[in-house]
Structure 1
Amino acid sequence: MTGKTHIMGGVASCTAAAYFYGYDPVFMTASGVIGALIPDICHTKSKIGRRLPILSAVISSVFGHRTFTHSLLFLLITAFAAHLYFTDQSILVGLMAGMASHLLLDAGTVNGIKLFFPSAIKVRLPLYIKTGGKAEQGVLAVLTVVSCYFIANLIA
């Protein structure tokens, strides 16, 4: 998936969680957007990879794309590290929701992800799409509608 789809996935997951569980929607959504971009640090041309080119190049050369940073192991390590630095549950849950949305969206692509890294098993959803294609535009549209729905209900 492209960066804009991941961003909207983070927004959709965080606004929904804020609505259902009463978290602060602003902090949660802001951290969710960041979380939705973090797994692509392994891709030097990604939004976050271009912002942190040296770190991205190192991670890419060591692990490759959609392996370690797209795994449950990375999600758990990030959750533990974030817990050490952030006490606000809205930020912690938002970060994890954004990262989880990223993994789910990338599992819905042709190449899938190595969710159980270091295992070589690839995980791909039964219905998958090509990154950047018309189907992804449809996913982006649905995520945008979902986000608008929950935002409207949060401010009402």
Structure 2
Amino acid sequence: MTGKTHILGGIAASLAVAHTANENPLIMVGAGIAGALLPDICHSGSMIGKRFPILSRIINLIFGHRTFTHSLLFLVLASFLIDRFFPNDVLKYGLLTGMISHYILDMGTKRGIKLFFPLNLTVRFPLTIRTGSKVENLIFSILTLVSFYFGYQALSWYGVGL
């Protein structure tokens, strides 16, 4: 998936969680966007990889793309580090929600992800799409609608005037 689709996936997922859990939607969305971009730190051409090119190249050299940073192990490690350095539940849930949305979106591509890294097992959905295709654009449109719906619900419920 492209960066813009990952961002919108993080927004939609974090707004849904904010609404369901009655948490601050603004913090959740910010953290959700960051979490949605974080797994692609292993790809120097990604949005986050371009921001941190040296770190991105090192991670890619050690692990490759869509392996460690797209795994449950990375999710657990990120959760531990967030608890240790940023003990804020809303921030933690937003980041993890964004990361999970990234994983789900990438499981919908032909390449899939190594969800159970270090096991060399690729996880992908039975029906997959090509990154940047018309189907991805359709998914982007659906995520936009979902974001508007849950954004309105979360902001209204949380008491932010519209």
The TM-score bracket by the shorter chain reads over 0.9
> Taking every aligned residue pair, what percent have the same amino acid on both sides?
51
Rounded Cα–Cα distance in structure 1 between residues aligned with 2:85 and 2:12: 25
Is the CA contact 2:68–2:118 (under 8 Å) kept in the aligned structure 1? yes
Is the CA contact 2:49–2:56 (under 8 Å) kept in the aligned structure 1? yes
Rounded Cα–Cα distance in structure 2 between residues aligned with 1:155 and 1:41: 31
Deviations 1:104-150 (A, max 9, x none): 00000010000000000000011211001100001111111000001
Partner of 1:137: 137
SS in 1 for 2:49: helix
Partner of 1:123: 123
TM-score, normalised via structure 2 length:
0.94
Aligned ranges 1:27-42 → 2 under 5 Å: 27-42=27-42
Partner of 2:9: 9
Q: Which runs of 5+ in 2 are unaligned?
A: 157-162
- AA in 2 matched with 1:42: C
Q: Which runs of 5+ in 1 are unaligned?
A: none
Partner of 1:92: 92
Aligned ranges 1:42-53 → 2 under 5 Å: 42-53=42-53
Q: Report deviation, 1:29.
A: 0.7
Q: Report deviation, 1:154.
A: 2.2
Q: Report deviation, 1:43.
A: 0.3
Is the CA contact 2:106–2:113 (under 8 Å) kept in the aligned structure 1? yes
Partner of 2:159: none
Establish whether residue 57 from structure 1 lines up as the match of residue 57 from structure 2. yes
User: RMSD across aligned C-alpha pairs, in angstroms?
Assistant: 0.7
Deviations 1:41-73 (A, max 9, x none): 000000000000000000011111000000000
Aligned length: 156
SS in 1 for 2:120: coil
Rounded Cα–Cα distance in structure 2 between residues aligned with 1:79 and 1:152: 28
Rounded Cα–Cα distance in structure 1 between residues aligned with 2:16 and 2:111: 28
Partner of 1:18: 18
Rounded Cα–Cα distance in structure 1 between residues aligned with 2:88 and 2:60: 31
SS in 2 for 1:87: coil
Partner of 1:110: 110
Q: Report deviation, 1:89.
A: 1.2
- AA in 1 matched with 2:77: I
Q: Report deviation, 1:24.
A: 0.7
TM-score, normalised via structure 1 length:
0.98
Q: Runs (4+) of structure 1 moved beyond 3 Å?
A: none
